[in-house]
Amino acid sequence: MQGCAVGSKLRFWLTLVSGMLECLCFAGVVFGFASLVFVLKGDGYFSELCNTDQDINSSLPLTDCTSQDEQFSLVFTIASFLNNFLSLVNGFLFDRFGTFMTRLLAVFLYTTGTLFVAFSSPELSLMLFPALSCIGVGGMLLLITNMQVGNLFPAHRSTIITIYNGAFDSSSAVFLLIKVLHEQGVSLRSSFLFLSSCSIIHLTRTVLLMPKTHIPYHPPDGYTYGVNCGKANNYEVEQIDDKREVTEEGSEGDAATQYNDTDTQNMGEGPVQSFQSCVLSWFFLWHLVWLSIMQLRLYLFIGTLNPTLERLANNDPVLVSQYTNAFAMTQLCGLLCAPWNGFILDRHKGKARAAGETEQEADLRSSCLSLFLTSLQSLLFSVCASIPVLPLQYLTFVLQVLNRSFLYGGNAAFISIAFPACHFGKLYGLMMALSAVFSLLQYPCFSLVKGPLGGDPFYVDIALTLLTLLVFIHPAYIFIHSRNRARSRKNNLHAEVTADADRPRTG
C-alpha cells in the first residue's frame, strides 16, 4: 500500500508536468494566428482577392490586399468565436461524461484541424475556416480537462490553474516556430502533419495520466487513477463521485460546497447553490462584463495585427516580419506571467483567517487584487495599442501578453472560487460562450476601420479604451461585498459575545 501511495504521488506530479507541456505545445496555438498569416500570405492563400492597379505617378504597380486581410480576419474571428462559444457545450460534456470522453473528442477535433491545414492549398483556402476552428475548439477542450489537475494540489490550486492558462497563452508561439521553419524551407504541410502525429501523445496521456471521470477537490487519501498497482481505477473514481454527490446535497464545509447564495446565505453553509442561481447572480454578470470587454480588445488586436504592422511599417516586409516575430516571442512569456496571478490568489493559503471567515470568503477576498490588476493592465494595453508609433508596439506586446495571461487564468480561478465545483465545467463554458458572442464585434470593428475610417483605427481604439473603464466595476463590487461580509461577521461575533456576557450564570 505504501508503494501504491508513492506511485500515486509520482503520478500526480507526472500529470501536472505533462499537462503543462500539453497546454504549452498544443492547446492555444490558434492565437499565434498573426505568425501563421505571414506564412499563408507568402504561400498565396486568398491571393485572388488582391487587386493590382498602375500608379499614375509611378511605373510601379500598386497592390490592394484589403479583401485578403478581411478574409484572414474573418478566419480568426470565427475560430476565436467557436473556441469560446462551444465551451458551453464542452463544459456540459465534461461535467456529464467526464475526462476520458471529453479528451477523445478534443483529440479528434485537434487532429482533424491540423490535417485540414496540412492538405489545404491556395486553391483550397476556404479549408482554413474549419481547420482553425477545429484546432481552437480542440485546444480549449484540452485546457478544460487539464485545469482540474489543480485539485490534486489544493493549497496551490489557483496557482496551477493560472500556470495552465499561461501555458495555453504561450502555445501561440508554436506558429512562430512554424514560420521560422517555413523560412528555412520546411513546408507548411510537413509542420502540420507533425502536429497531427502528436495526437498519439494526447491519447497516451489520456489513458495513463488522466482520470476517467473527474478529479475531486481535496482528493481523499489513497485516491488514484489510470493504471495503478495492477488495478483498474474506474470503481474507485465512481465511488468518490458518488460520495461527493451525497455530500453536495446535505453536508457543510465539504470541498464541493463552494460559494452559496451571496445575498442571503452564509458562505460554505447550507445546500449547494443551483446552476440557475449561479448564472443569475451579480458575481456572474459582472464577471461576464469584465471578461467580455477585455477579451474583445485582445482579439481585435491579434486579429488585426498584421495589417496594423503593415500600415505602421509602410508595407516594409522586413519590418513587418521583425515585429511579427517579436510579438510571437513575447507570447512565450505568458507561462512566466501567469503564476504571478496565481500567487496573488493563493497568497492567503496557510495564513490564519479572520474569526468566522470561511476558506471561500478568504479566496474571494484575495481575488479583488487580481481582478483590479488585470483591469489596470487592460487599460494600459489599450492606451498603448491606440498610439500609432511603431517602436511603441514592443511595449504593447508585453502588456498584451501580461494582460492575457492574467485574464484567462484569473477567469478560471475566479469561477472555481466563487461558485460550486460541481458546476465548474458548465459555468466556465457558459461564461466563455457568452463572451464569445460579444467578441464577434471584432469583425464589424475591422470592417469599420477598413471602410469608412480609411484604414485608420484611432477612433475605434479610443472607443474601446473608454469601454475598458467598465471592467473596474467588477473588482470594486467584489471588494465592497467582501468588506460588507467582514462587517456582518464582526457584528455577529460581537452580538454573540455580548449575549454570552449578559447570560445569567448558575451555580
Q: What's the rounded Cα separation, in Å, for the pair 371 and 80?
A: 23
- Could you tell me which of 282, 479, 284, 474 has the C-alpha nearest to residue 375? 474
Kindly report, residue by residue over 359-371, the tens digit of the pLDDT. Answer: 777 778 888 889 9
pLDDT-above-70 percentage for the chain: 83
What's the chain's Rg over C-alpha atoms?
Answer: 25
Identity at 35, one-letter amino acid code: S
Confidence of residue 62 (pLDDT cuts 50, 70, 90): low
Beta-carbon-side half-sphere exposure of residue 397 (alpha carbons within 13 Å): 24
Residue 494 is predicted with a pLDDT of 67
For the cut 70, the answer to whether the pLDDT of residue 136 exceeds it is yes
Average pLDDT, integer, range 190-218? 91
- Cα pseudo-dihedral 94, 96, 99, 102, rounded to 10: -60
What does the buried/exposed string (b/e) look like for 327-365 if buried means 16 or more CB atoms within 10 Å of the residue's CB? bbebbbbbbebbbbbbebbbeebeeeeeeebbbbbbbbb
All structural domains of the chain: 14-50+63-216+274-350+358-496 (1.20.1250.20)
Q: Which of 24-38, 73-87, 122-136, 308-322 has the highest mean predicted lDDT (pLDDT)?
A: 122-136
Q: Which of 70-79, 196-205, 260-269, 489-498 has the highest mean predicted lDDT (pLDDT)?
A: 196-205
Q: What is the DSSP letter of 231?
A: B
Average pLDDT, integer, range 75-95? 84
Listed in sequence order, the residues at least 6 apart from 478 whose beta carbon sits closer than 8 Å to its beta carbon are 283, 364, 367, 368, 371
For the cut 90, the answer to whether the pLDDT of residue 285 exceeds it is yes
Confidence of residue 129 (pLDDT cuts 50, 70, 90): very high
Bridge-partner residues for 231, per DSSP? 228
Residue 228 is predicted with a pLDDT of 58
Residue count of the chain? 507
Q: Is 218 left (phi over 0), alpha (psi -120 to 50) or beta?
A: left
205 grid coordinates: 496521456
Average pLDDT, integer, range 42-52? 85
For the cut 70, the answer to whether the pLDDT of residue 103 exceeds it is yes
Average pLDDT, integer, range 426-432? 86
Average pLDDT, integer, range 53-81? 73
